[in-house]
């Protein structure tokens, strides 16, 4: 409700109607349909009325002469023309708050999408000032040290500038949660190589120079099992695939960008082509346990003791890690190693785990996460629920855990820096831990208001991004 100052009180309703009341006589002398949906914001100044609704509509009304309708007499019907809608704007979410100047010409409006808009009625302009996530952020991906992308339960994929902390682009899918996201790889020499034909006599390859401002493709997985590929440069969705019947829980491009590897909550892993949209391979070795993460090695074949053109791994919630060798140009993919990490038959709080309740308890246990080590090409770094809180370093060549590092909390997420010997860990205790890869010394950082569910270093290791529910923190890393 809003008091106009001339003994007139304006009240908005959940049905979109606005009524004007004479506070001296406690009577309603006029009401009208200002919107089709609930009006949550109403302001009155200088003979004008502003309404903001759940239907994303922001409207300004001229109410000059409305107060005269309180006067008795039939001549008042001639003055109903004093109530007119001057202008309206449609924003990106329900209008939840507003602050305007005395003339209602300029102001700031906040929406349920986490956006602050600058509104100028005389110039009829709306400028996005600040954007943020309102729903839980599920995943982040960085293509360089200038931009990163995030996805959330509200189905949004947002691209941000690290320097300005501002949103540069947003893709929205309705009624689906976006659960994971990944940028396609960009070769360091700045050249994209796309095979046009591959005959036995003369393979033909097209070379395209990447512009300095070129942004790679984004692949995003959703709760309905679909995967969408977005082109940031064109600001459009270029492909939609449906490799899973259930929610996609992990996603990554292959190191050459030829394939998109996805894992689902049912434990299946799908390998799909981002060019044709076809699923070329389905791997069911982890069936029954949700896939928690997929990691692709950037090391070359000669750097590894295992003969593999490309290595990638998948981790499931039952503490199993599968390591694969692949050459997607030859449709080759085979299992290299299979890791199983033991754990007690009870949860961290002491509850006994019944065999029939395994799937239900996955969400109550610390997640299993494995990643290839940037420091040692032969090592896989693993964290998860086990006999004790620790990081385990597994050797592919010796096929055993070489060493462990004790931790103070059960990790909820992990990432390894590419350029420095640092490991970042998040915990339910709202603590972000930065740990030395070799020595095991660490430092704890606080600031988040909820449990930390995702951490990610920038490619040059200058920044660390951490996620806690709808919060995204950007940390500057100095070694």
Instruction: Spell out the per-residue pLDDT of the chain, length 479, in tens.
Output: 888 877 889 999 999 999 989 888 888 888 899 999 999 999 998 889 999 999 999 999 988 878 677 766 554 554 455 688 999 999 988 999 999 999 999 999 999 888 899 999 999 999 988 888 888 999 999 988 899 999 999 999 999 999 988 888 999 998 999 999 999 997 654 444 443 444 344 444 444 444 556 789 999 999 999 999 999 999 999 999 999 999 999 999 999 899 999 999 999 999 999 999 999 999 999 988 999 999 999 765 444 555 557 899 999 999 999 999 999 888 899 999 999 999 988 888 888 877 666 667 788 899 999 999 999 989 999 999 999 999 999 999 999 999 999 999 999 999 999 999 999 999 999 999 999 999 999 999 999 999 999 999 999 999 999 999 999 999 999 87
pTM above 0.85, yes or no: no
List the domain boundaries for the chain: 2-131, 135-284
* CATH T-level assignment (fold) for domain 135-284: Methylamine Dehydrogenase; Chain H (2.130.10)
Distance CA 330, CA 319 (A): 31
What pLDDT score was predicted for residue 296? Answer: 95
What pLDDT score was predicted for residue 187? Answer: 61
Query: 10 Å Cβ neighbour count for 335?
Result: 11
Query: 10 Å Cβ neighbour count for 450?
Result: 13
What pLDDT score was predicted for residue 244? Answer: 96
Burial level of 105, CB count in 10 A (0-12/13-18/19+)? Answer: middle
Q: Are 181 and 219 in contact (CB under 8 A)?
A: yes
What pLDDT score was predicted for residue 197? Answer: 40
Distance CA 64, CA 77 (A): 14
Distance CA 140, CA 157 (A): 10
Q: Are strands 463-468 and 471-476 parallel, antiparallel or unpaired?
A: antiparallel
Q: Are 35 and 57 in contact (CB under 8 A)?
A: yes
Please state, in angstroms and as integers, the Cα–Cα distance from residue 382 to each residue in 47, 313, 321, 451, 453, following that order.
66, 11, 9, 20, 16
Each residue's pLDDT tens digit, 272-287: 999 999 999 999 999 8
Distance CA 273, CA 184 (A): 12
Q: Are 280 and 259 in contact (CB under 8 A)?
A: yes
What pLDDT score was predicted for residue 433? Answer: 95
Is there a common fold for 2-131 and 135-284? yes
Taking every pair of Cα atoms in the chain, the longest distance, rounded to a whole number of angstroms, is 97
Classify each residue of 49-83 as buried b or exposed e, where b means 16 or more C-beta atoms within 10 Å of its C-beta. bbbbbbebbbbbbbbeebbebbeeeeeeeeeeeeb
The CA-to-CA distance between both ends of the chain, in Å, stands at: 55
- The values of phi and psi at residue 77, to 5°, are -65, -20
Cite the DSSP H helix spans in 267-400.
358-361
- Classify domain 2-131 by CATH number: 2.130.10.10
Strand partners, 207: 193
């Amino acid at each position: 409700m809003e008091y106009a100052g001339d003994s007139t009180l304006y009240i908005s309703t959940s049905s979109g109607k606005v009524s004007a009341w004479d506070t001296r006589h406690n009577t309603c002398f006029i009401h009208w349909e200002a919107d089709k949906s609930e009006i949550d914001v109403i302001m009155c100044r200088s003979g004008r009325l502003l309404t903001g609704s759940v239907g994303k509509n922001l409207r300004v009304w001229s109410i000059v002469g409305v107060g005269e309708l309180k006067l008795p007499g039939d001549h008042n019907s001639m003055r109903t023309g004093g109530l007119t809608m001057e202008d309206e704007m449609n924003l990106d979410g329900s209008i939840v708050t507003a602050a305007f100047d005395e003339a209602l010409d300029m102001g700031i409006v906040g929406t349920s999408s986490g956006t602050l808009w600058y509104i100028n009625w005389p110039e009829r302009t709306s400028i996005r000032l600040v954007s943020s996530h309102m729903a839980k952020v599920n995943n982040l991906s960085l293509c360089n040290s200038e931009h990163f992308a995030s996805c959330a339960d509200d189905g949004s994929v947002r691209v941000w500038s690290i320097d300005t902390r501002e949103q540069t682009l947003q893709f929205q899918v309705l009624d689906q949660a976006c659960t994971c996201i990944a940028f396609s790889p960009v070769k360091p020499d700045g050249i994209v190589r796309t095979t046009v034909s591959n005959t036995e006599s003369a393979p033909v390859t097209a070379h395209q120079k990447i512009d300095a401002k070129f942004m790679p493709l984004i692949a995003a997985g959703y709760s309905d099992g679909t995967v969408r590929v977005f082109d940031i440069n064109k600001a459009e969705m270029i492909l939609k695939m449906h490799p899973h019947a259930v929610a996609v829980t992990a996603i990554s491009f292959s190191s050459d960008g030829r394939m998109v590897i996805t894992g689902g909550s049912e434990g299946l892993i799908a390998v799909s082509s981002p060019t044709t949209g076809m699923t070329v391979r389905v791997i069911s070795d982890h069936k029954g346990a949700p896939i928690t993460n997929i990691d692709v090695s950037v090391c070359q074949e000669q750097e590894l003791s295992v003969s593999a053109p490309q290595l990638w791994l998948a981790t499931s919630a039952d503490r199993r890690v599968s390591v694969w060798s692949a050459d997607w140009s030859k449709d080759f993919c085979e299992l290299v190693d299979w890791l199983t990490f033991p754990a007690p038959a009870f949860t961290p709080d002491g509850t006994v785990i019944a065999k029939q309740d395994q799937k239900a308890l996955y969400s109550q246990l610390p997640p299993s996460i494995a990643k290839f080590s940037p420091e040692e090409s032969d090592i896989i770094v693993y964290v998860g629920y086990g006999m004790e809180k620790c990081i385990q370093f597994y050797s592919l060549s010796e096929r055993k855990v070489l060493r462990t590092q004790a931790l103070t909390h059960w990790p909820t997420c992990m990432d390894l820096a590419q350029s420095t010997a640092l490991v970042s860990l998040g915990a339910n205790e709202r603590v972000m831990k930065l740990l030395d890869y070799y020595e095991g010394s660490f430092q704890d950082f606080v600031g988040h208001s909820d449990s930390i569910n995702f951490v990610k270093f920038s490619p040059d290791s200058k920044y660390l991004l951490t996620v806690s529910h709808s919060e995204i923190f950007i940390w500057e890393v100095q070694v």
